[in-house]
């Protein structure tokens, strides 16, 4: 039985601010920005190369809902991705090596947090899937 994680809702107090942050600063693709009615708005965004998207919007979750913590974006070169994000105005932590796996962290304007994770090729090869 397949189970695919394809969409993660993130709480936001300002949909336009979140959309701008993820598209212009982080580089996510904009999949949808629709208003299906009843005051609802759905903005779906996808990280480059990812099969999983995020969604922010009005009517998706309460603005004061608990924030999502430590979503992982797996990258080939954490230093290069960090530099790109910093150049785009994202505040990103320094890179930390945790037993050969490298991490850097950032948060969106609502406090949802992300980890950039670089996994060495030999570790990825021993854990397919």
DSSP string for residues in 51-104? S-EEEEEETTS-TTSPPP--EEEEES-HHHHHHHHHHTT--BPPPEEETTEEEE
DSSP one-letter code for 26: I
**May I ask the CATH class of domain 7-126?**
alpha beta
pLDDT at residue 33 in the model = 97
pLDDT at residue 62 in the model = 77
Contact 17, 63 (CB under 8 A): no
CA dist 74 and 117 (Å) reads: 5
pLDDT at residue 59 in the model = 81
Give pLDDT tens digits for 50-72. Answer: 999 999 998 877 777 899 999 99
CA dist 47 and 75 (Å) reads: 11
CA dist 91 and 68 (Å) reads: 18
pLDDT at residue 122 in the model = 64
Give pLDDT tens digits for 94-129. Answer: 999 999 999 999 999 999 999 999 998 766 666 555
Q: What is the mean pLDDT of the chain?
A: 93
pLDDT at residue 60 in the model = 76
pLDDT at residue 50 in the model = 97
For 34, the token pair is 């629709």
């Amino acid at each position: 039985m397949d189970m695919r994680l394809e969409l993660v809702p993130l709480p936001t107090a300002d949909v336009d601010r979140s959309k701008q942050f993820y598209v212009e600063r982080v580089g996510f693709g904009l999949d949808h920005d629709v208003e299906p009615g009843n005051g609802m708005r759905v903005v779906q965004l996808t990280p480059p190369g990812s099969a999983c998207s995020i969604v922010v919007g009005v009517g998706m979750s309460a603005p004061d809902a608990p924030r999502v913590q430590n979503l992982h974006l797996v990258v080939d070169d954490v230093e290069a991705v960090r530099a790109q994000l910093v150049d785009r105005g994202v505040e990103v932590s320094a890179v930390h090596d945790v037993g050969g796996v490298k991490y850097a962290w950032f948060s969106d304007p609502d406090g949802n947090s992300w980890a950039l994770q670089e996994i060495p090729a030999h570790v990825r090869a021993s854990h397919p899937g």
